[in-house]
């Protein structure tokens, strides 16, 4: 049975989506058709939304689940009249918080994912630029400015992780690929030695690495299982020998890898 789920907001929808995804993931035997609908910020859009929800209810033969973070009371009331089952996030928690904080909610829309301050914006853009400029060992003379330096074989997930940490947390993360040359020397590249305390290693299962590299360079020696297995083994040996903290990225998402790195290295996010 398929069931529709709507994540509805008068802002970006990011909070409704995150919470909805988390809760629905707890029901593994049900298949959900998930739709995020941001910027439902007028009575007209709310009525159009209700029509979509009701249409889904007819197709599914059952009530769609609605997660909403709509702040505007009028819009929320319109949505509540739809044929959906509504999880009203803000209503549930704002009243107890108002009491605890002895303060009134401003009931203002789209606060959480807006630009809080210019310095926050600059911090973030600087972090993205840092990740791009210091990607793939392109530059090594700015490592004094890095919060972290990820190391690992080519295509083990260093770049997406650095970019995610930059965008999400404002962390300045460089990355350096351990290539075949370095592995024959079996030691840490000179550029990294001074910054050993900033290093974090990513490793990956050789068969997954083979699959990823084959997407990029099909049937190359670079993508062969033998080569991937050799590189991974040598790099893992290096991590152990040099005492570099590391995780295997194979079964983790970019979010999980990033969160684990920050915990392990004790690095605090720059965006608050």
Site residues for a copy of itself, window 144-163 (CB under 8 A)? 157, 159-160, 163
Q: Please say whether the dihedral angle defined by the alpha carbons of residues 143, 146, 148 and 152, taken in this order, is positive or negative.
A: negative
Q: Which of 55, 59, 97, 186 binds a copy of itself (CB under 8 A)?
A: 97
Q: For residue 138, what are its two tokens?
A: 């392109």
The answer to the question of residue 124 lying near a copy of itself (CB under 8 A) is yes
Q: Considering the complex, what minimum distance in angstroms separates the CB of residue 224 from a copy of itself?
A: 19
Q: For residue 213, what are its two tokens?
A: 């590299």
Instruction: Identify residues 226-255 at the interface with a copy of itself (CB under 8 A).
Output: 251-255
Task: Report residue 51: phi and psi, to 5°.
Answer: -60, -40
Instruction: Identify residues 64-83 at the interface with a copy of itself (CB under 8 A).
Output: 65, 69, 71
The answer to the question of residue 142 lying near a copy of itself (CB under 8 A) is no
Report the SS3 class of residue 88: strand
Q: Specify whether the CB–CB gap between 94 and 33 falls below 8 A.
A: no
Instruction: Identify residues 172-211 at the interface with a copy of itself (CB under 8 A).
Output: none
The interface region with a copy of itself, picked from 25-33, 75-83, 184-192, 231-239 by CB under 8 A, is: 25-33
The answer to the question of residue 101 lying near a copy of itself (CB under 8 A) is yes
Report the SS3 class of residue 26: coil
Burial of 243 (0-12, 13-18, 19+ CB in 10 A): exposed
Report how far apart, in Å, the C-alpha atoms of 266 and of each of 106, 200, 259, 260, 261 are.
34, 12, 10, 10, 8
Q: Considering the complex, what minimum distance in angstroms separates the CB of residue 81 from a copy of itself?
A: 17
Q: Which of 44, 74, 207, 256 binds a copy of itself (CB under 8 A)?
A: 256
Q: Considering the complex, what minimum distance in angstroms separates the CB of residue 271 from a copy of itself?
A: 10
Q: Considering the complex, what minimum distance in angstroms separates the CB of residue 171 from a copy of itself?
A: 13
The interface region with a copy of itself, picked from 10-18, 53-61, 198-206, 224-232 by CB under 8 A, is: 10-18
- Give residue for tokens 């069931």: 3
> By C-beta, is 27 or 187 nearer to a copy of itself?
27
Please name the residues in contact with 111: beta carbons below 8 A apart, sequence gap of 6 or more: 11
């Amino acid at each position: 049975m398929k069931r529709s789920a709507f994540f509805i907001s008068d802002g970006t929808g990011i909070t409704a989506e995150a919470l909805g995804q988390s809760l629905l993931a707890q029901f593994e035997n049900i298949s959900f058709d998930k739709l995020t609908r941001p910027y439902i910020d007028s009575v007209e859009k709310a009525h159009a939304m209700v029509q979509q929800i009701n249409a889904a209810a007819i197709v599914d033969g059952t009530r769609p689940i609605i997660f909403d973070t709509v702040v505007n009371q009028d819009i929320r009331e319109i949505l509540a009249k739809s044929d959906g089952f509504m999880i009203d996030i803000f209503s549930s928690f704002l009243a107890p918080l108002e009491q605890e904080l002895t303060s009134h909610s401003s009931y203002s829309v789209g606060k959480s994912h807006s630009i809080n301050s210019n310095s926050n914006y600059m911090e973030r853009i600087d972090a993205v630029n840092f990740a791009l400029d210091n990607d793939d060992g392109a530059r090594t003379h700015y490592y004094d400015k890095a919060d972290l330096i990820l190391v690992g074989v080519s295509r083990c997930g260093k770049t997406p992780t650095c970019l995610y940490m930059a965008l999400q947390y404002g962390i300045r993360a460089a990355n350096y690929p351990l290539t075949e040359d370095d592995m024959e020397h079996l030691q840490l590249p000179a550029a990294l030695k001074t910054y050993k305390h900033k290093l974090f290693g990513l490793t990956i299962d050789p068969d997954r690495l083979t699959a990823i590299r084959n997407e990029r360079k099909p049937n190359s020696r670079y993508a062969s299982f033998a080569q991937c297995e050799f590189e991974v083994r040598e790099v893992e040996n290096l991590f152990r020998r040099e005492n570099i903290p590391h995780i295997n990225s194979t079964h983790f998402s970019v979010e999980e890898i990033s969160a684990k790195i920050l915990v392990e290295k004790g690095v605090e996010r720059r965006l608050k």
